[in-house]
Structure 1
Amino acid sequence: MPASSSHRTRVAVLADSDTRWKWGALTAHRLISDSALDGFLLRGRATPTPRQLGEVGVHADSLREVTAVEFLRTTGRETYDVVVLACVGGAVQAVLHGLARTWEGRTKRPVVVTGYVGVVYEKLADGLLLRHGADLVLANSRHDAERFRSVYRGVGADASGVVETALPFLGGAPYDGHTCGDRPYTVVFAAQPSVPVTRADRMYLLRRAAEHARKHPEREVRVKLRSKPGEHTTHIEELPYQKLAARIPGGLPANCSLVYGHMGEVLDRTDLLVTVSSTAALESLHRRIPTAVLTDLGVREALGNHHFLGSGCLASWDDLDAGHRPEPDALWLSRQGVAADGGYEDAFTVARERVAALLSAQALPHLEPYYTSATAPGYLPGILARHHLGPQGEPLPGASAVSEETGGVRRIVRSAVRDVARGAYRHGVQRVAPVIRRMGEL
């Protein structure tokens, strides 16, 4: 039922990383003005730590870690109005099939919403088809909405669920120019966990940031990091910048530092945002902060900076060293949802109306993802099995959810074992895997 004075709309958000939790929870707040929000963190390699959750700064009425099967059991037992799936594509597809099985036979079920946390520059068809089946697939811009519909129509799938919105975390005070004497002119390099990949490329970017600080001693250069060593976010970070900084000859200059924190707060004191292809560029552009997307390592699909073709933001460190300040193209900004027509708040109007209409409906149709045992018999079973689900979305034997009555000692032991396993995995990713790759190159 729609929200009213006697009913707060109940929303469940399932997320598998800190950035996706931020997107999912803020999307829920944008779509439902007054909601009771229950957060569920999908257990895996990127499950956020308390520090990461605190840095995101988005709160819920309740928040706990679950498996996919536990989430399905909860949504089958509890009464939710809206379910937001803020996960990687494979997890979304598995949960969609699981929800279809869980809610089978119901005439009234929750509205299911999904989408992307940022710039969609790779695996467009793969990621979209894995998200198909939700009532709403949110596109963060007009550009994305057109691409999404084209993919769905191209395979003969229903494209009516695609709804144009914008990134839910855009905001903050518009940049009005640097005020001399108030603070140093501040350049922020927004680092990314997985782009670029190689040690040489990552060292190059860090070295150039340090060199920019040395060439401009009157400026402050800040390298904004997403996670600390041992933590993971949406992407795996094998070569943390914290460790690479120790290899800079002479160390980082006094006016160059590594920083953490909420991106909005970092942008509050930013005069120039520099990145390879981070979504932070869109946050910065939304606030009219001068923004540079680096071309030093090429303009390549693998880097994601090809997404910014036509933006007016492409530049090199040499350009920035010489004082260049990119001027963004207004038409490109509008198509990317950065300067949504009619104002940023209006960007969610259609999605809000669609959700309200579905909540008011007497009944909703059965969830029908594009991938089925008929359309993808060699692909779908593996996706479902990774989340301990059978071919019809049913929990596999041995995948039963942990009872709420489970003893406290058992929960503590299980949590400790998971932490050890997660630590071993991260050690393998950050230490062992790079060594094996280097040995293979000999």
Structure 2
Amino acid sequence: MRALTYHGTKDVRVDTVPDPEIINPRDAVIKITSTAICGSDLHLYDGVIPGTLNGDILGHEFMGEVVETGPKSTLKKGQRVVVPFTISCGKCYFCEKQQFSACDNANPAEKQDMTEQLYGHAVGGLFGYSHLTGGFSGGQAEYVRVPYSDVGPIVVPDHLDDDKVLFLSDILPTGWMAADNADIEEGDTVAVWGCGPVGLFCIQSALLMGADRVIAIDHYSRRLELARQAGAQVIDFKQTNVTEALMEMTGGIGPDAVIDAVGMESHGFSLGDQAQAFNLADTIKQKVGIGADRGGALREAIFACRKGGRLSMPGVYGGFVDKFPLGALMEKGIQIKSGQTHVQRYLNQLLRLIEEDKIDTTFMISHRLPLEEAPKGYKNFKDNQNDWTKVVLKPGV
């Protein structure tokens, strides 16, 4: 089959690789009909995620048709399914608490030592996201093996096009869980850093959960326009001092909840000498590979949040953040929630909202490409983020 594979920093290629096979009784094999490039894929592309090896098949946002099943799979050949990016057994301590991304059994035991030393506990398994999370082949391919297929995939009705349901695999439940983690109350003001796909779904989700207004921060003009279309007020951080603007917009109180939808490669230089100095130092440290994440958006969100407010952090972090304002977090009494998304917890609810036309999942798609042009998609999604807001790949086209 054909699949997108990693060959080093900013080097991805479509290669011919072996077809996936059923290995365990609960497995299924899916023929991919749609797959997408996620913002977190760019962390792999940029070479800042350890444990990514030459030849690894990337991609964790995908859906398709069931073509083969193991004897203990609950899926049937011919069904259309969306597959969560998190791999979960459904039976361990964490899965039974619906904390599916923390599954204790999905990440193979021989892989767990790497993250146990880094984080204190082994992390769960993810598709196409380095050997730290299990080394599972991803879905930017013609076919993919799906472990625990009786737990993860959701069967979708034929009357819903791929574009309407594809993002159930990751970014829609990620945006929803981010808003859920912000403990939004009726009348709240919520500020969202980053108007990429996850940030845009954070906006939609926060408003559906009762926020009175959402303020979105970015600097790409098209992303800011998409945020407006989703119902947000916007701030261009290259034109405006974000903290000062948020204080003015909230009568000096600050937002009730803040959401960092940017993560470890925060690259913007917000106005203010201290912020620029911190961002420059973060960039240098990350480039030399000492495990330092760039936390500019996170720092700014903490400083802007009101006293007694809430911080939700769906943005991906993998290492350490320098100059973390722990004092501000404690002295202001800010609550913080984060984590990889427990996708399976939200799927049925979100599918229902899609069918009721309460969530629009298609407005951010800017480009659809055949799988063979995936390297072009990665390069432009990285280098031309104003115009390439979301890329969907179509194998076999």
Structure having the larger proportion of residues in strand: 2
TM-score range, shorter chain: under 0.3
Rg larger for: 1
Higher relative contact order (CA 8 A, sep 6+): 1
What TM-score comes out, normalization by structure 1 length?
Answer: 0.26
Greater helix content: 1
